[in-house]
Structure 1
Amino acid sequence: MMKTCWSQSVGQLIAGVAHELNNPLTAILGYAQLLESEGLEERASDFVRKLFKQAQRTHRVVQNLLSFARQRKPLKQEVDIRKVLDETLALRDYDLKVNDITLEREIEPEISAVTADPHQLEQVFLNIINNAVDALLEAGKGGRLKVCIYAKDGNVHTEFHDSGAGIKEPNRIFDPFYTTKSVGKGTGLGLSICYGIVKEHGGDITARNRLEGGAIIEVRLPSAGRTPSPEKSLPAPRHELAIEGRILLVEDEEAVLEFERDVLTGAGAQVVTLMSGEDMKSRLLSETFDAIIMNGKMPGGWCAQEAYRWVMENCPTLEKHMLFTFSSVLEPEIRSCLQEKNLPYLVKPFEVADLIAQARRLSQKALAATAG
C-alpha cells in the first residue's frame, strides 16, 4: 500500500517533467528526420544520424517516465504472446548478434492466448530483455539469454534467463528508481513500469537468481483459454498525394509551431500559424480554412473540448476537419471526448510521417466536401 501511494506521488511529479521535455523533443526529433531526407554529404549525414539516435534515446526515457506516471488502463484484447515476444526480440536482434549473446528459445507449441494490451506487453518484454542484455554486457562480452513460454495452472508463464552476474537485491528490483546499472545507464524505472503493467493485467512478475549464476525474470498472465487465431494480412498501402488547402496551425510552443509549419509547408500545404486560442477564434471568424491543427491543451484553459465546442457553434463545417496534438498522455475525459466525436490526435513527440498523413487526410476530406 505504501509502495502504491509513493509511486502515485512520484508519478504526479515526473509527469510534469516529462510533459515539459516532450515539446522540445518533438522539434529535435522532427528536424533530425527532415535533415535525414535532405541528401547531405556523408559526414554531415553521420552527424544527423547520431543526433537522431541520441534524441530517440531521450524519447525512450521520457516515454518510460510517462508510462510510470500515467497508470492508465490497458486496452485489452486476445493476444498471441509468442508473436509479441518474437516481435520484441526482433528489436534487439542486431545487438544480440554483435555482442555475441546466444539466444535460446524454449516455447511450448500449443499456448493459449492471453487477454492483454499488446503494446504494453511488448513494453514489458522489451524492458526485461534490455535489462538482461545490460547485465550480460556488464559481466563481459557474450553470454546467454534464454526465453521460455509454457502453460501452468491456468496461466501463461514467460521466463527470461540470463547468464549475467545475478541480481544483488531481488526483493527491490521492481522498486521505482532502484537500479544496479552504472551512472547514466538507467533510470531505475523500467522494471517498475513492468511491475505496474503486469499487475494491471491481473498477473504477477518475479525475479530470482539462478543457482548456476545469472537471473530469471518471470511474467505470469492469466490464460484467455483458447489458442489464438491467425492474423489477417494488412491491406497494401495506397499512394499518397500532396497536402492541399489552407491549414490553421495553433501551438503555444514556438519551436514546435515552427517545426510543424515547416513539415506541413514542405508537404504542399498553405499554413497560417497562431499561438493562442483567442487569435484562433478571431481568425476563423474572418477567414476560410480547410483544416485546423492545434495543441489540445493550451495555456489559460483552452483545451480540445473547449475548442471543439466553439468550432461547432461558430464554424460547423470544420467539425470533422480538426487534429489535436498533446504533449503528454491524454486525461481520460479528453480521450473519451475525442473518441466519442471521432476526432484524430497525436501525442508528442510524433513521427513526421504521422503528422503529414493526418494533415493529408484532413485536406482530402475538405476537398471531397467541397466537390460534393
Structure 2
Amino acid sequence: MTDSLIGSRRRSMTLAPQTSGSANSSPGQDAALNFALLRLANLTGAGLVRVDAEGHAWPLNETAANLLEALGGSYGATAPGALSSALATAAETGTPQLNEVLTSPPVSRHITVAALHSDGIGLVALRDHTEERLLQERLLQSEKMASVGQLVSGVAHELNNPLTGVMGFSQLLLARELDDTVRIQIQTIYGEAERAAKIVQNLLSFARRRRPTKEMADVNALMQRVLELRSYDFTIRNIGLDITLDAHMARVWVDPDQIQQVFFNVIKNAEQAMIDAHGSGKLTVVTAGAEDSVRISISDDGPGIPPEVARRIFDPFFTTKDAGEGTGLGLTICYGIIDEHGGRIWTENLPEAGSVFHIELPIGAGEEREPGTAHGGGAVGVTPSAVSGRRILVVDDEVSIRLLLHDILRLDQHSVALASSGLEAADLVERERFDIIITDMKMPGMDGASFFRQVQERDPAQAERIIFITGDTVSPDTRAFLQRVTNPVLAKPFKIGPLRDAIEAVLGRGAISAAAPSLVESAIHASEPDAQPAKTTPDTHTSS
C-alpha cells in the first residue's frame, strides 16, 4: 500500500528537492527521499494527506490512511470536514492551521489536524494523541481527588463526632418506653443522622482509595445481578432494556462488590437522565472482550451530556441535580474504583441522542480471595448486653462522646471513669487498674497511639484491653498504627451493638486475637455506602 500511496503523492507534490536542499537531485533520489520521509512519518505516528484542487483526499502513508478513515474519509474520496475546513482557513489566512478533532463514537479518538495550503494543493498532517489526552485527564483527575481527599479527611472527622452523639443518644432514647409519636420522631432523627453518616462514608471512600479485595469474576454475571436489582424500577418507569453480552468474554481480576457499585451508579444516572428528559427511555448495555481488556458500554436515549458538564462529570461534588438530591460523589467514586483496578471510564454523546459510559477493565489473573469476615452494624434498638459490672475508662476530648459512652456503659451496669485527654487518662491508669479502656485516636496533647504505647510499656496486659475509636481512618499514620495492633477498632459514628461486641472481644482473652482483626478491617475499610461504621474518642472526669 505504501508504494501506491507514494506514487500518487509524487504525481501531485514533491517535497524532496526542498527538503534535501540539493538542486541536482535525480528523480530516483527524490523518490527514495520521499519513501524515507514517509517511513519516518509512520514511525512517529504522523499521517500525511494530500488534498487536490477538487477536494479529494489522498493519504500518503499507512498512518494517514487509518486516521483519514477514523475522520470519516477514504482514499480518493472527498476530504472530511475536519480537513477541508482547516485547509479553507489556511488558504484564506495564508498561514498553516492547527486544530484538534474528536471523532464520533463508537471509538472516539483525539486527532491533531495540521493544514498547509499552497497553489491550490493542500497538505495535511494527522496525529492520533488519544492516549496522551487520556493520560493527561487521568493525572488531572488524580490531582483533584488527592487535594480534595485531604480536605475530606478533616471534614469527615469533624462531622463524625457530632453524628456519633446524635445516633448514639437516639438509640438510648429508643430503648425507653415512649408513645408512638415520640418514637417515630426519634426514629426519624436517627434515620437522618444515619443518612448523613453514609454521605460521610461516600466522602471517605474516594479519599481513602482502599485496596480492592479482588477475585476472578464474570463481568456479565455482575452486570446481570445489577440489572435484576433495577428490573422492577425499569418496569414501573417504562424503561426498556436492550442487552448484548459477549458470552466468550474473559473473566477479570476485580473486586466484585466495587464493580457492581460502579454499574449501579452509572445505570441509576442514566435512568434518571431519561426520566427527567421524557418520562421513559431505553437503556442499552453491551459488553465486549478484547485481547487484553473487556469493555462495558452503558447508553441511554436521554438528552446527552453538555460539553461543559462532560468536562467536570467526574469532579468531586459536581452535580447537576437540585440541592439536596445528590452529593456529587457517585461518579467520582466510580472513577476512583475503576482507576484503582487499572482501567478507565469515560463518557461520550451518541450521534442520534443520549450518551454512553464506557468502562474498560484489564484482563488479569490472581489468587482467589479468602472469604471475608462479616461485621454486623447492630439494630437501632438496644438489647441487653452479655457483659456487665466491669470497670471501664473512657478517653475522648469530645464531651458528647464521653457522655454517650458513659450512658451506654452505665446501661450495662459498668462502672465508668472519664478522661478528656491522653495525659489525664495516663494519670488515672497510674493510680487504678481498669478492665477495659476505650480511647479516641485523635486528641490534643497525647493522642491515642502515644497513650497506648505508654500503657503498653507499663502493663502489656492492660494495653491488650484497649479499644480504639476514631473518625480518622484516612490518615496514613492512623491507618498504619491500627493495622499494626490487634486491638478492636470502632469507626465513628458507631452503634451500640459493635461497641458491645468489641468489649466482649477484649474480655474473651483467647478471642481477642481472632475477633480484633475483623473489627479493625471493618473500621478501616468501611467505605461502602451500605457499611455500618463505628468509632470512639477519649473523655474527662470520672463517674460510676
Fold match by TM threshold 0.5: yes
SS at structure 2 position matched to 1:299: coil
- Give how far 1:27 is off: 1.8
Does 2:467 align with 1:326? no
Give the percent of matched residue pairs that are identical in Structure 1 and Structure 2.
36
Structure 2 matches for 1:322-361, cutoff 5 A? 322-361=466-505
CA contact (8 A) 1:74 1:116 kept: no
Structure 2 matches for 1:184-223, cutoff 5 A? 184-211=324-351, 213-223=353-363
- Give how far 1:202 is off: 0.7
Corresponding position of 1:174? 314
Compared CA separation, residues 231 and 277, structure 1 to 2 (3 A): closer
CA contact (8 A) 1:104 1:145 kept: yes
SS at structure 2 position matched to 1:325: strand
Corresponding position of 1:58? 196
Q: Select the residue among 398, 403, 407 that pairs with 1:253.
A: 398
CA contact (8 A) 1:132 1:162 kept: yes
Please identify the structure whose Cα radius of gyration is greater.
Answer: 2
CA contact (8 A) 1:246 1:291 kept: yes
TM-score (norm 2): 0.57
- Give how far 1:357 is off: 1.4
Q: Which runs of 5+ in 2 are unaligned?
A: 1-138, 377-383, 513-544
- Give how far 1:200 is off: 2.4
What does the per-residue CA deviation read over 1:250-297, in whole Å, with 9 as the maximum and x for residues that have no partner? 111111222233333334543322211112111112222111111011
C-alpha distance in 2 between matches for 1:285 and 1:257: 21
Q: Select the residue among 262, 283, 293 that pairs with 1:124.
A: 262
The AA in structure 2 aligned to 1:342 is T
Does 2:407 align with 1:262? yes
The AA in structure 1 aligned to 2:211 is P
Corresponding position of 1:305? 449
- Matched residue count: 363
Structure 2 matches for 1:1-372, cutoff 5 A? 1-36=139-174, 38=176, 40-70=178-208, 72-80=209-217, 81=219, 107=245, 112-118=250-256, 120-139=258-277, 141-145=279-283, 147-169=285-307, 170-211=310-351, 213-225=353-365, 242-244=386-388, 245-300=390-445, 302-365=446-509
- Give how far 1:98 is off: 6.3
Compared CA separation, residues 140 and 79, structure 1 to 2 (3 A): farther
What does the per-residue CA deviation read over 1:277-328, in whole Å, with 9 as the maximum and x for residues that have no partner? 112111112222111111011112x233312211111122122212111112
C-alpha distance in 2 between matches for 1:58 and 1:261: 24
C-alpha distance in 2 between matches for 1:117 and 1:284: 44
RMSD (CA atoms): 3.7
- Give how far 1:35 is off: 4.4
CA contact (8 A) 2:422 2:448 kept: no
The AA in structure 2 aligned to 1:26 is T
The AA in structure 2 aligned to 1:190 is G
TM-score (norm 1): 0.80
Q: Which runs of 5+ in 1 are unaligned?
A: none
C-alpha distance in 1 between matches for 2:365 and 2:150: 37
Return 39-48 or 96-105, whichever deviates more: 96-105
The AA in structure 2 aligned to 1:21 is L
Return 271-280 or 6-15, whichever deviates more: 6-15
The AA in structure 1 aligned to 2:429 is L
C-alpha distance in 1 between matches for 2:355 and 2:259: 20
What does the per-residue CA deviation read over 1:171-211, in whole Å, with 9 as the maximum and x for residues that have no partner? 43113333222233233332123223321221000112344
Compared CA separation, residues 68 and 140, structure 1 to 2 (3 A): same
- If asked which structure has higher relative contact order (CA below 8 Å, sep 6+), I would say 1
The AA in structure 2 aligned to 1:309 is R
The AA in structure 1 aligned to 2:214 is Q
CA contact (8 A) 2:214 2:369 kept: no
Return 124-133 or 291-300, whichever deviates more: 124-133
C-alpha distance in 2 between matches for 1:214 and 1:127: 17
C-alpha distance in 1 between matches for 2:437 and 2:405: 12
What does the per-residue CA deviation read over 1:318-350, in whole Å, with 9 as the maximum and x for residues that have no partner? 222121111122423332332222222122123
Compared CA separation, residues 362 and 204, structure 1 to 2 (3 A): same
C-alpha distance in 2 between matches for 1:299 and 1:334: 15
CA contact (8 A) 1:267 1:356 kept: no
